[in-house]
Amino acid sequence: MELVRELSDYRQLKAEIENLKKEKRAVILAHYYQRPEIQDIADFVGDSLDLARRATEVEADIIVFCGVHFMGETAKILNPDKKVLLPEPKAGCAMADMATKKEVLKLKEKYPNAWVVSYVNTTAEVKTVSDVCCTSANAVKIIEKVPSEEVIFVPDKGLAYHVSKKVKGKRIIPFEGFCPDHYLFTEGMLETLKQRYPDAPVGVHPETPPSVQDRADFVGSTSQLLKWATDPSLEAREIIVITEIGLKYQMEKKNPNRKYIFPTPEEGVGYLLCSQMKAITLEKVYETLKEEKNEIELPQEIVKKAKKPIELMLEWST
Ligand code: SF4
C-alpha cells in the first residue's frame, strides 16, 4: 500500500514538474551522474561537453541545471540573460574547489610561456585566468591545438596523465587536484572485479588514477564510455565500467542486452558515487522551479572573462 502511494506521489511530482516547465518556459539539463528519476524528467542528459553545447542552444527563459555548481556557472556564463537555477545550491565539486585563481596565477608566473588549459570542473574565477577550457571528452583534441609547447593543466592530475600519454610534443604541467570519488578507486579494487569477471573488457574514466588507467582496455569520458560499452559490435556479455554509478542507467537503457559491472559493495568493492550529484531530488527540482529559487548569479566582469576560454573550447571542439 505504501509503495503504491509512493509511486502515485512520484508520478504526480513528475507531472507537476512537466506543467511548470511549460508554464514557465523552462528546460531541464541533467548530467549522467544524476539519479535515474532526474535523468527521466530532463529535456537533455549528457556529459559536461554536451551540456555546455546545449546551454548555448537553449530557447527558454529558465534553465534548471541538475548537476554541480561549476556546471550551473558554465550555463550562466553562456546564457547571462537567462535564469539558471541549481536545485541543490550546495552541490559542489570537490575537485573544482581544489584549484584557486591565486594558485593558477602562481603557476603562470613560474611558466610564463605556458597556456593554461582548465578542465570545465573549475570555478568561474579560475576560468577567468585560463586560456582555454576542456572536458574529458575533448581534452586531447584541445591540447593538440594549443600553440604553446608547455601546458599548465588544471585541476585534474588523472586527466593530465591520460592527456600526456596521448599528446606528443607537449610538456604537461599538472595541477595536483583530483576527484575524490574516482581517484580513490584502486588497482586492487579493479583486480577484485577482474577476478570475478575474467572475460569482461574494462572501460575507465580518465579521472581514475594512472595505475587503474594503465590496466584498462578503454579510457574515455562518460559519453565515450557510454558509446563504447553499448556498442553492439563489441563482443562481450559483461563489461566492467569504472565511473560514477549514474551512467549505468543510460547504458542499460541504450543496450539492455549486456551486464554493466560498476563498483558496488555487491561486487566486492565500494561504491563509486558522487554524493554531490545525488543531492538533487525530484522534490528539490519541483520546489526550485516553482519558487524560481537557487539562482546562479555571477558578476558581469567574471562572466565576460570566463566566457572566452569556454567559447574557445566550443570553437575548437566542433
Ligand atoms: S564525480 Fe568527482 S569530478 Fe565529478 S562532480 Fe563529483 S566530485 Fe566533481
- As a whole number, the mean pLDDT across the chain is 95
Which pLDDT tens digit goes with each residue over 57-106?
888 999 999 999 999 999 999 999 999 999 999 999 999 999 999 999 99
What total of structural domains would you count in the chain?
A: 3
* The last residue of a domain, from among 144, 179, 214: 179
Contacts of 66 (CB under 8 A, 6+ apart): 28, 29, 30, 31, 34, 38, 42, 87, 280, 285
Which pLDDT tens digit goes with each residue over 273-287?
999 999 999 999 999
The finding on whether 274 has its CB within 6 A of some atom of ligand 1 is yes
Domain shared by 262 and 203, yes or no: yes
Give dist(CA 157, CA 171) in Å, integer: 14
Query: Which residue has the CA at smallest separation from atom 8 of ligand 1?
Result: 93
315 belongs to a structural domain: no
Domain shared by 15 and 45, yes or no: yes
Distance 7 CA to ligand 1 centre (A): 30
The finding on whether 91 has its CB within 6 A of some atom of ligand 1 is no
Domain shared by 196 and 250, yes or no: yes
Which pLDDT tens digit goes with each residue over 133-189?
999 999 999 999 999 999 999 999 999 999 999 999 999 999 999 999 999 999 999
Q: What ranges in 42-138 are assigned the alpha helix state H?
A: 48-57, 69-78, 94-97, 101-110, 124-128
Domain shared by 139 and 99, yes or no: yes
Which pLDDT tens digit goes with each residue over 166-180?
999 999 999 999 999
Residue of 35, 156, 179 to test ligand 1 pocket, by largest number of atoms within 8 Å of CB:
179
Query: Which residue has the CA at smallest separation from atom 7 of ligand 1?
Result: 93
Give dist(CA 124, CA 120) in Å, integer: 9
Domain shared by 203 and 122, yes or no: no
Atom of ligand 1 nearest to the CA of 33: 1
Name which of 161, 156, 110, 107 is nearest 129 in CA terms. Answer: 107
Beta bridge partners of 134: 119
pLDDT the model gives residue 2: 62
Overall pTM > 0.85: yes
Residue of 33, 48, 68, 223 to test ligand 1 pocket, by largest number of atoms within 8 Å of CB:
68
Per-position DSSP letters for 212-243, written without gaps between them: HHTT-SEE--HHHHHHHHH-TTS--SEEEEES
Please check the confidence at residue 122 and state whether its pLDDT lies above 60: yes
pLDDT the model gives residue 243: 98
312 belongs to a structural domain: no
Domain coverage including residue 62: 2-92+277-297
Domain shared by 170 and 206, yes or no: no
Distance 199 CA to ligand 1 centre (A): 29
Query: Which residue has the CA at smallest separation from atom 1 of ligand 1?
Result: 274
pLDDT the model gives residue 245: 97
Average pLDDT over residues 297-314: 97
The finding on whether 179 has its CB within 6 A of some atom of ligand 1 is yes
The finding on whether 47 has its CB within 6 A of some atom of ligand 1 is no
* The last residue of a domain, from among 161, 179, 197: 179
Domain shared by 82 and 12, yes or no: yes
* DSSP 8-state class, residue 295: B
Domain shared by 7 and 26, yes or no: yes
45 belongs to a structural domain: yes
The finding on whether 181 has its CB within 6 A of some atom of ligand 1 is yes
235 belongs to a structural domain: yes
CATH number of the domain to which 199 belongs: 3.40.50.10800
Please check the confidence at residue 312 and state whether its pLDDT lies above 60: yes
Domain shared by 152 and 198, yes or no: no
Domain shared by 25 and 44, yes or no: yes
* The last residue of a domain, from among 225, 246, 267: 267
The finding on whether 66 has its CB within 6 A of some atom of ligand 1 is no
Cell of 94: 570537490
The finding on whether 68 has its CB within 6 A of some atom of ligand 1 is yes
316 belongs to a structural domain: no
Residues in the chain, total:
318
306 belongs to a structural domain: no
The finding on whether 279 has its CB within 6 A of some atom of ligand 1 is no
Give dist(CA 230, CA 272) in Å, integer: 20
The finding on whether 93 has its CB within 6 A of some atom of ligand 1 is yes
The finding on whether 95 has its CB within 6 A of some atom of ligand 1 is yes
